[in-house]
Every structure is written in structure tokens, then in C-alpha cells.
Amino acid sequence: MRSMLREGFLELDVNGEHRKVVARPADTLLHVLRERLGLTGAKPSCKNGDCGACTVLVDGWPIKSCLMLAVEAEGHLITTVEGLKNTPIQKSFVDNFAFQCGYCTSGFLMNCHALAQIHPQASYATMREWLQSNLCRCTSYEEITQAMENVLLKT
Amino acid sequence: MNTVGIGISIPKKESNDKVTGRAKYNTDHIRPELLHAWMVTSIYAHARIKSIDLAKAYKITGVRAIVTGDSCPILCGPAIEDWSPLARGKVRYFGEPIAVVVGDSEAIAKEAAGLVQVEYEPLPVVNSPAQAFQADSPKVHEDLAIYEIVQAGTIFPQPGTNILQHVKVKKGDLQKGWQESEVVVEASYSLPQANHIAMEPRNARAEIKPDGQVIIDSSTQGPFNIQKFISKYFKLDNSKVTVRAPLVGGGFGGKTTVHVEFIAYLASRAVGGRPVKLVESREQDMTSSPCMLGLQASIKLGAAKDGTLKAGEFTLITDVGAYCDSGSEMARGMAADCSGPYRLDNLHCDAYSVYTNHTFVTAFRSFSRLSSTFALERTMDKLAFALGMDPLELRKKNALRPGDTSPTMVRLNKNNFGNLEACLEKLKTLINWDEGVRVELGNGKVRAKGAACLWKTSSSSPNAHSSAIIIINDDGTLNLSVGAVEIGPGSKTCLAQILAEKLRMDVNKIHVIMEVDTSASPHHWKTVASMTNYMVGNAVLEAARDFIRQLKTIGGIVLKCPAEMLEVGSGRVYLREDPEIFVDIKEIGSGYQYPEGNAIGGQIIGRGNFIMPHLLPMDPSTGRGRLGPAWAVGAQAVEVEFNQRDFSYKIVRAATVMDAGKVLNPKGARGVVMGGMSMGLGYGSREAAKYSTGGQRENPQLRTYHLLRLGENPQYLVEFVETPDINGPYGMRGIAEHGIIGIPAALANALSAAAQADLDCPPLTPQAIWQACKGAGK
Ligand code: FES
Ligand code: FES
């Protein structure tokens, strides 16, 4: 049983690498990824589960890393935006001007990438349901929708 | 020739960094030596601070310092000095910073902040602009009379009241105007404060080096502004303050002022200058840092039977919250543009800023012109209804034209105004206006359209200036350095496009330096007011001319001819009459070496600057003057599908036609306009800062303060008219903010037509519409 207060070692699988980190039991996954591993792609914005800027993948599913404790992530495969390498969604975001300031982009990319993997033929309704968990203040969402639709397989 | 310059949709220069998580924002700098700060903020909207007890907080291991207002007895502000970075004596709004705790980690600082014991004596609150105006209302500032005015002649406070600013604009003969009016309409509006919600919350780091050099790293739109104010208020030489701004995660005006930077500086000073990082929580970003102003407006318009506007009276009362910041300036801007882009020869406008016990305000996309535009454009629709005239027709009939004058008597021409009629004409087709403003679909559903026009000039300081530097690399590519911050719209990419066009050179061979560092970058006023491409663009053009001149001088020596015979393009200096006789710029950019081995010249550095010409402060009694160089104009429309049974609605389409002068990057421009429209729809339909009867903020979270989400966006229709402004680079006009301006009004006009009720107080939630209909007996 881990002490509730003391820092201790955690072992995380992040972007295909096995990493050992020191963390407090109360630290969120977002905090540990950024502050301990230097993976600053996942962004803090509301830290309350409302905006999706901190989205990462846990075993392939999008999770808001501000709502997950780092200790809970042990034994799972974590992917952050730094782990996306030349994926179609990244290119599609660039081609479709799907970001301006880019602060929401990592979170959107993770969510979109997972959707393309899990539901490659997702309907508009499914896409909408998935992507509603992320906020963007700069764009109109039209560009993000287009970027997503361009990587989903046409049915 | 592979020339790529303006008019082409090249993706933003920093695109690859932004899709790989490599783009570094200010919060992304993580270093073990950083200390962390957390603010203690007020839980009352108005209260005397009786005592602050730090004993318990200091007991937490890892707390390095706690700073309260008493250790920093200064008053500051850009227009009037009414604000202390940490409250002293009393708090004037919910969320106001009272103290800042510095600790080894954010968790430690936050825990200790929770243990700082503040004893308050609550005071009665001023909870609305109307209340602020009442003679017997509590006073937010008892010391208004003794506050220092920074820019005399631009702000007119009335000591003994809550009135901080009163701007008057008078034009023509109002008496005569009313006599000529055959139809008169009058209405009042109330618009709430709202939040910027840049996705990156406001944050800053500060450190003081052993030699006294202050380094501030900030998520800011105005690094040079921070340098100016930190040096001014902490009595440092300007060059003793260095401010750095990396990529910024959204601004929308909210990052133009200096706020958390002061507090971060105080925090660092308290720990011997060690670097301290202060990041606001989302809740603090929404309550402690400045938000968007609220507005109470009354407008009376008179017209002849044929629709010609004859007279207008405007009373605009802005709720600037507890401190002035740029609130007084926004009131001036609204007054200067009060008529909208319509010819109104007889008008009076009284614009006020009043203090309330709400969060203080700062610039918001369009310098809050969306609020005054809402009131005006709703009144235009009411006038059209009273006249029995088509709303779009009424607007077209009164559209300002070259030769007319603005409310502050600036004579308009094609360059400083553009072509509003062409925008209206295009909009009409784009949104199928002629199919009818209101169509019953059966089933209790109605489709309705509403329109609004927009115009805005910037409120720039009359001496606002920008510069640019071009440096050549050994491989013949260029580095472009400017003082504008990249906050999202892709200005740096557009500036590279302007340079590429001027040098007729592939834009991919131009590198832009993303980070701004006040000790190394050329100056730029602030990245605001849609003025970046205009001001910095002109500086870039000047630098390009300087660069070309130097290339030709050395090219002439190499090609053995006078410089006048040469041209520059595609990375070469060549003979105008025979481009095959040339020298590559990379051969001469860092000095030219003769075949014999000796060399001449040296690295070529192009430099250019730009200062805003011909700006004139407004006359205090008539308003005559010129705030900005030019307006950008446009026309917008929104179409809704309204359910008469439950008052819900869907925003089906939203359209904008803007006179952009020249579109520099089509996809980029469309994106920026749509982004503005999206924000406008959010404000019109759901966003509002809600205060309790005690003035406490009730919805300071994204869970309770709703933004538009994906799938709620309508179909966007965006088109441009291109009437060049000869003073703008390649004819461009500043349009980065403008997409938002007319949208809340157009939405309200559409919904008012649909519900057949006057919807004059956003946000227009189904509940608000239901209440308005009930009030109207429907
Ligand atoms: S930061 Fe995690 S959802 Fe907003
Ligand atoms: S691009 Fe700025 S928040 Fe989405």
C-alpha cells in the first residue's frame, strides 16, 4: 500500500518507453507528464475536465489527464502528442488550418487520432459526440471538423 | 520562378511545432530552480481588509515568501493610476489578488495560500452600471479625486461619484435632425460582462539577476508594454527590464494589459530575485484577471419616411468593473464609432465608464465594439420595422460613402473606409436574403434571418510605432525579426508573405523569429487592434526597400553597372534588361569575394520602421479627432431555426462579407473571421459573467460558463471585397478582430424576427427568449 502523502517511484509506459518517475500520490497524470517527464504537449487549461486541452491516450482511449492520477496510469500504455509520428490527422490539421494559437491542438489531435483508430468510419454524430469534449476558442470548429472528416474513411 | 507571396494560403510557419507538441508556450518552461507562486484572492466583491494573518501559512514547509499589498505601496494603471497589484485597505471585486505565496512547488504555494487568514468587513456593493450611476450608491473609489491621470485630455473622471469617464461626441444640429425626423425609435439595452477564455490561462515568470536586470517571461500580447510599466512603477531604467514572449495560447485582448506580471515580479523580489512562476487557475483567469466590459445603452434614432437617417442620440454606459485599465479608452472608441457605418449628420453621444464591484476589464476582441454595435444594430432593425422597410435596404440606404464624415469629423475616402455597399450587396446573395426574413416551416418552427453591419478603427496611441529587421543567412535565406507576438492568427506568416512578395522570393526561404525579446527584437507597440499586419507590415516593406537598396549597391559593383539598372527577385540581383546576367544574393549577402580572393561588403541587414501618422486626440467637448488610421467595414447575417414551442433554436448559417482591402492569406483570413464569428455567436447565445446579489462571481468555470462546442457551429459563409487601402501593405486592412462585431446583433435580429419579440439583452438563451415573449404577452 502506497503512503497517501509521501513521494514514491512510479513506472509509466509513455510513448513506447518505460519510464521511472518520482511522484506524489496526489499528482495528476498531466502534472507528472509535464513536470517530471518534460512532455509538455498535453496542456493545462481548466484542470477540471471541461476543456480537453490535456487529453492523452490511455490504452488507445482518450482521457483527460488532469482528471487521472498518475498512479492510476501504472500498467497502462500512455500516448501523448509527442508520441504521434506523421499520423494522417497531424497533416490534416495543418492542411485544413485547424488551429490558430495551437493551445487546444494537442488535445484535439489525441481525441481525433483515437477516433480514427477506434471508429475509422465514424458517422458525423459519433464524431460530434467525441469531439464535443474539447474546446477551441480560436477556430470556428469548421476547420477541425474538416480535418477529422478528411482522415475518416468514407462509407 | 517559384515566387510565393501574398494571396496564397500557406500554412502557418509554426505549424509543425503545433501539431507535434513541440511548440513551447510560456507555461511549458519547466526548470528545477523555479519557485512557484499562488495568489490569495478576495471572496468578497467589496470589503475592508481588517487584517491578514500569515502565521499558519508560513508553517508549511517549503514556503519561501508571502507578499501582501503593504509591501508594495504603489498605484498604477495605463490611463489613471487607481490600481494596486495586491489589494491594500480594501478589496473591490471578487477574485481580487490580496497576497501571493511563493513556495517550492505549486502544491505547496497553493496549500499555504489556503491558510492565509484574511479578516474582512463587508461593504455594500455596486452591482450594475445603473446602480453605479445613482447619486446615493456606494463609492468604489473614495480617492478618485487624487488619482494621477496618466494621459491628460483622454479621461474625465468625476470625483465623488463612480463615474470614471465621460466622452462627448457632437456632430451637426440635433434639434434640426429631430425636426426632420418623421419616424423615431428609442430603446435600451443591457449587455453583460464576459470572459476572454484564451485556452492558455494568463501566466508569467519573473526573475531579478544579480546585476539588477529584471527578466519577465509572459504569455502576453504586449511585451514592450510590460517593459514600459514594470520599469515605470518599479523605478527602473527601461533597458533594465527584459520581457520575453514566446508563442501565446490565445489572447483576444485579454493579454494586452499588465497584471500577473506585476505580481510575479513582486514574488521574485521577495525571494531575492529567484525565478518565480505564476500560473493562474482557470477560475482566477476568469475572475482575478481582467474580463470584457458590460454595457448599458440607450439609443434614439430618427429618420425621414424614405429611411434616411436624420438624428441620433446615444447614451453608452460601460461597466468597467473595479479598476480603469483600458475601460476609459474603450468608451472613447465606442463614442467615436457610435453611428455605425451609417451617415448620421446630427448626433450626440455620451459615453461613460463607471466603476462597479465587478472584475475590472481590459481590451476584448474589437475593443468591445461588439457591444455598442449590438445596441445600434438592434435599433436599426426596430427602425426598419417602424418604417416598414427591409432591414438590409435601410442599411444600404444609409451606408457611409467616401466624402461623408465620421462622428468625430474624419473625412472618409476609399482608402480609410472601403466599400460597405459592395459588402451589403454580396451579403444579400450569400445568405439568400430575398427568400424572406421570416419563414414559417410548419410544425411550430420558424426560419429567420437577421443582419448587421460593422465598422471599427483602432484606438492607437498617436505615436504607436513598429520596426523590422531582415538578416541574410549564408545559404541565401532570410531571417525576419519583428516585435509582434504570435497569438494565433498567423501574423508572422503573413509578414513573411509580405516580405516574400516585395522581394519576389519564395516565402519558404524566409524564416520568422517566433519569440519576442524586448532586448533583441525590434519594437512593436502591442499585438492588438488588428493593426499588426498594417503597422509591422509597413515596417517590413520599409526594411525590404532598405535591403534591396543594399543588394543593388553591391550587385552593381559585382555586375559592373549602376544600381539603377538592377532588379531583385528569386534570390538574385539581375540586370533588368537581361535577367540571365545575375548574381545570387547568397554570393553577396555576407560580403562578396572576388575570384582573386579579396572581398568587399559585409552582411546585409535591412531595417525599417513605421509610425502611425495623422492621429489626433479627440476634442473633449465635441469629440472631433482621429483615433486610428482607417476603418474596416463589413456586413454580417445569421440565420436561425427557431422552435416556437420550447423557444430553443439552432443557428443554421452565419455569413460575413468584409472589405479586407487585400486578402494576404485566404485560408488564414477566412479562419480568423470565422473564429471571430464563433466567439460572437457564443456571446450572443450563452456567455455572460454572472454575479450574485453580493457581487460574487457565480460561474467562474468552463463547466458553468459555456462556450460553443464542436457541432454547435453553423455553416459559415465568408467572402471578401477587396478595395485597397493605399496605406496598408499591398492594400490590406486590419480585419483580425472584426468577425465578432456584428454577429451578436445579427443573431438577436434573427431571433427577434423569429420570436416576434424584442430581444435586447444577451445572452439569448431559450429561457431569456421565453421571458421576453412572456413580457410581450406572446
Ligand atoms: S485541462 Fe484537463 S480538461 Fe481542461
Ligand atoms: S487554436 Fe487556439 S484554442 Fe484552439
Return averaged pLDDT per consecutive 10 residues of chain B, 778 residues in all: 77 97 97 97 98 98 97 95 97 98 97 98 98 96 97 94 98 98 98 98 98 98 97 97 98 97 98 98 98 98 98 98 97 97 98 98 96 98 98 98 96 95 98 96 96 92 92 97 95 96 96 96 87 94 98 97 96 97 96 94 96 90 93 97 98 98 97 98 98 98 98 98 96 95 98 98 98 83
Strands (E), B281-329: 294-303, 309-321
Atom of ligand 1 nearest to the CA of B702: 4
Q: Is the CB of A106 under 6 A from ligand 2?
A: no
From B463, B466, B470, B537, select the one nearest B728 (Cα to Cα): B537
| Contact list, A131 vs chain B (CB under 8 Å) | 710-711
Residue A2: pLDDT band by 50, 70, 90 thresholds?
A: very low
d(CA B566, CA B575): 5
CATH class as words, domain A2-81? alpha beta
From A54, A108, A137, the mutation candidate for ligand 1 (largest count of ligand atoms within 8 A of CB) is A54
Q: In this predicted structure, what is the pLDDT of residue A155?
A: 55
What digits encode the pLDDT tens for the residues A68-103?
999 999 999 999 999 999 999 999 999 999 999 999
d(CA B655, CA B665): 19
H-type helices in B520-595, by residue range?
532-559, 585-588
The whole-angstrom distance between B227's CA and the closest CA on chain A is: 23
Q: Is the CB of A97 under 6 A from ligand 2?
A: no
Backbone phi and psi for residue B101, each to the nearest 5 degrees, phi listed first: -105, 135
From A38, A29, A31, A42, select the one nearest A70 (Cα to Cα): A29
d(CA B647, CA B632): 35
B247/A contact by beta carbon, under 8 A? yes
Of B19, B200, B708, the CB nearest to A94: B19
Residue A130 above 50 pLDDT?
yes
The ranges assigned to domains in chain A are: 2-81, 88-152
Give the mean model confidence (pLDDT) for residues A110-124: 97
CATH 1.10.150.120 fits A88-152, yes or no: yes
Q: In this predicted structure, what is the pLDDT of residue B1?
A: 43
Determine if the peptide bond prior to B763 is cis (ω within 30°): yes
Q: Is the CB of A138 under 6 A from ligand 2?
A: yes
Distance B571 CA to ligand 2 centre (A): 35
Atom of ligand 1 nearest to the CA of A65: 2
Residue A5: pLDDT band by 50, 70, 90 thresholds?
A: low
From A15, A52, A48, A54, select the one nearest A34 (Cα to Cα): A54
Of B18, B247, B702, the CB nearest to A46: B702
Residue A62: pLDDT band by 50, 70, 90 thresholds?
A: very high
Atom of ligand 1 nearest to the CA of A49: 3
Report yes or no on whether pTM surpasses 0.95. Answer: yes
Residue B774, judged by CB atoms within 10 A of its CB (0-12, 13-18, 19+), counts as exposed
Q: What is the DSSP letter of B520?
A: T
Distance B428 CA to ligand 1 centre (A): 41
Beta carbons of A138 and B281 less than 8 Å apart: no
Q: Is the CB of A147 under 6 A from ligand 1?
A: no
Question: Does A88-152 match A2-81 at the fold level?
Answer: no
d(CA B739, CA B684): 13
d(CA B738, CA B749): 18
Distance A138 CA to ligand 2 centre (A): 4
d(CA B773, CA B778): 5
| Contact list, B671 vs chain A (CB under 8 Å) | 97, 100, 139-140, 143
Looking at domain B15-22+463-611, its CATH architecture is: 2-Layer Sandwich (3.30)
In chain A, positions 4-33, which contact chain B (CB-CB < 8 Å)?
Answer: 24, 26
Q: In this predicted structure, what is the pLDDT of residue B98?
A: 98
Atom of ligand 1 nearest to the CA of A30: 2
d(CA B451, CA B453): 7
Distance A55 CA to ligand 1 centre (A): 7
Q: In what order do the strands lie in the sheet with B465-472?
A: B510-512, B478-482, B465-472, B605-611
Q: Is the CB of B78 under 6 A from ligand 2?
A: no
Contact B291, B359 (CB under 8 A): yes
In chain B, positions 103-162, which contact chain A (CB-CB < 8 Å)?
Answer: 107
What digits encode the pLDDT tens for the residues A24-41?
999 999 999 999 999 999
**Rg from Cα positions in chain B:** 27
Contact B168, B352 (CB under 8 A): no
**Optimal mutation site among A56, A81, A92, A137, interface B, most CBs of chain B within 10 A:** A137
Contact B387, B305 (CB under 8 A): yes
Contact B569, B504 (CB under 8 A): yes
The ranges assigned to domains in chain B are: 15-22+463-611, 33-125+199-250+255-287, 368-457+630-775
Beta carbons of B249 and A100 less than 8 Å apart: no
Residue A3 above 50 pLDDT?
no
d(CA B131, CA A133): 39
Q: Tell me what ipTM this predicted complex has.
A: 0.97
- Give the contacts of B389 (CB within 8 A, at least 6 positions apart): B307
Question: Does B368-457+630-775 match B33-125+199-250+255-287 at the fold level?
Answer: no
Q: Which residue of B has its CA nearest to A126?
A: B711
Contact B544, B499 (CB under 8 A): yes
CATH topology assigned to domain B368-457+630-775: Aldehyde Oxidoreductase; domain 4 (3.30.365)
A149/B contact by beta carbon, under 8 A? no
CATH topology assigned to domain B33-125+199-250+255-287: Aldehyde Oxidoreductase; domain 3 (3.90.1170)
| Contact list, A103 vs chain B (CB under 8 Å) | 25, 198-200, 249-250
The whole-angstrom distance between A46's CA and the closest CA on chain B is: 5
Place of cell 509506459: A13
From B354, B328, B351, B356, select the one nearest B77 (Cα to Cα): B328
Atom of ligand 1 nearest to the CA of A47: 1
**Optimal mutation site among B13, B219, B710, B740, interface A, most CBs of chain A within 10 A:** B710
Of B22, B200, B713, the CB nearest to A103: B200
